[in-house]
Amino acid sequence: MPDASRKPLVWLPACHRNLDLGDPGGYTVLADRYAAAVTDLGLQPVLFPMAEAADIACLLPMVDGVLLTGSPSNVEATHFGATALPTDLLDPRRDKLTMHLVRAALVGGVPLLGVCRGLQEINVALGGTLHQTLHDQPGMMDHREPESEDLAVQFADRHEVLLEPGSAFAQWAAGTRAMVNSLHGQGLNRLGEGLVPEAHAPDGLVEGVRVSGASAFAYGVQWHPEWRHREHAFNDRMLGAFASACRGHRAERPV
């Protein structure tokens, strides 16, 4: 019988919302689909709701992977030298944690996967910048989802990505092209230090990166591979590779 105590633990940094106007404490929020995908991969999702940057040194050695999830909120523009837009939904508590968590995971050799906002967090944490409104940039597509539609339509494959030959992305896709969903208003502008672009949208936007020189799995994608991943071979193989890296880390980590 498998030893449940050996199941790899994956840290999913949560979002923070003020859902009740009369509640100054707010809420810790995580979309079920991320935790469900992690569980489906044979891993155990864990949350540290009140974690701060100062806690990373004691918490990170307890886990075997970090999955930076997507979110309705944007990375605050001050982290990359810009001014936040009046319409931005922000999450400063998450930013304060993840800007440090990205670097700590890379230094510690903990498998890291960034999804949508998570990709943008990796980029900004490594010194990169973002386009705040992609649809206003000359030559760029509108990468936002149709918000008036149900989730199945919002998360449907929306456009192709071109994958670098010989990359892990091309291996997962079994080719150099794949279809992905698209639910984001911001996107990568200047790449952070060490990021290698390996997947591009038709308009040239970088949508998939690896971290050069990382000692463990370290990738980020602009789309949402967690959505019904078992029905999407490309995304399923990608998540499977992340899970394998987490299992490898768990095998080496002391109980």
Query: In whole angstroms, how far apart are CA 26 and each of 6, 48, 118, 167?
Result: 34, 15, 22, 42
How far is residue 48's CA from residue 31's CA, in Å, rounded to a whole number? 15
Q: Which of 131, 224, 229, 249 is catalytic?
A: 224
How far is residue 250's CA from residue 194's CA, in Å, rounded to a whole number? 26
Residue 58 annotated in active site: no
Q: Which of 131, 207, 226, 249 is catalytic?
A: 226
Residue pair 111/64 in contact (Cβ under 8 Å)? The answer is: yes
How far is residue 211's CA from residue 156's CA, in Å, rounded to a whole number? 28
Q: Name the one residue in this structure whose structure tokens are 């929020």.
A: 29
CA angle 37, 127, 130 (to 5 degrees): 70
Dmax of the chain from CA atoms? 57
List for the chain the helix, strand, coil content (%; round to 5): 35, 20, 45
Residue 116 annotated in active site: yes
User: Which amino acid appears at position 210 of this protein?
Assistant: R
Closest to 203 measured CA to CA, from 218, 184, 220: 184
Closest to 244 measured CA to CA, from 12, 62, 43, 3: 43
Q: Which of 116, 145, 232, 249 is catalytic?
A: 116
Q: Which residues belong to the active site? A: 116, 224, 226
